[in-house]
Amino acid sequence: MAIHPILKMGDARLLRTAQPVAAFDTDALHQLVQDLLDTMRAAQGAGLAAPQIGVDQQVVFFGSSERNPRYPDRPLVPPTVLINPVITPLSDEEASDWEGCLSVPGMRGLVPRWQKIRYTGFDQYGDSIDRVAEGFHARVVQHECDHLWGKLYPMRMRDFTQFGFTEVLFPDISAAEDD
């Protein structure tokens, strides 16, 4: 078990395209997945990508079987390890919603995302994953996979008047819900 520091916006490593994973079911990959899970839980994140802890690999962990204190009113997203993902929008329909990020602490922004997607990839054992997701689940997948392609959510925003510090935008938010 290792809890890693999370890289913050401004660190050039967050802007790189991560490398695909070539070998599955290895001790190193299992350790990376456990480190992502431990670090995400410690930070109360909805997901975490390997580049956020300085690892240049296409690996994300997202979801939980318990409510997230940062997103208490959101539906549960199944806990998932997703490696070498491919995201395909299933329509042109987008939805905008507020997002935060462990790499952009204390801030939130209104981000457009595809409403319904198909995502494919592999788990840490090399088994195929092929799912359709919509709403919050689709948003979380897109947000985490963006980290693998060197994108942070502010880069997806279209209106910077809808970007700011969480404590200013949402003064009644609890400390547990802040990033």
Contact, 10 vs 48, CB < 8 A? Answer: no
Contact, 168 vs 178, CB < 8 A? Answer: no
Which burial class, exposed, middle or buried, applies to 78 when counting CB atoms under 10 A from its CB (0-12, 13-18, 19+)?
A: exposed
Q: In what order do the strands lie in the sheet with 104-114?
A: 94-101, 104-114, 163-165
Q: Which residues are catalytic, by number?
A: 144
Provide the CB-side half-sphere exposure for 117 (13 A, CA): 22
- Strands (DSSP E) contained in 90-148 are 94-101, 104-114, 116-122, 128-134
User: What are phi and psi for residue 139, nearest 5 degrees?
Assistant: -65, -45
Whole-model pTM: value is 0.94
Q: What is the pLDDT along the chain (179 residues), one digit of tens a residue?
A: 699 999 999 999 999 999 999 999 999 999 999 999 999 999 999 999 999 999 999 999 999 888 877 777 888 999 999 999 999 999 999 999 999 999 999 999 999 999 999 999 999 999 999 999 999 999 999 999 999 999 999 999 999 999 999 999 999 887 666 66
Radius of gyration, CA atoms only, the chain: 15
Report in angstroms the alpha-carbon separations of 124 from 8, 17, 141.
26, 20, 17
Count how many residues are written for the chain.
Answer: 179
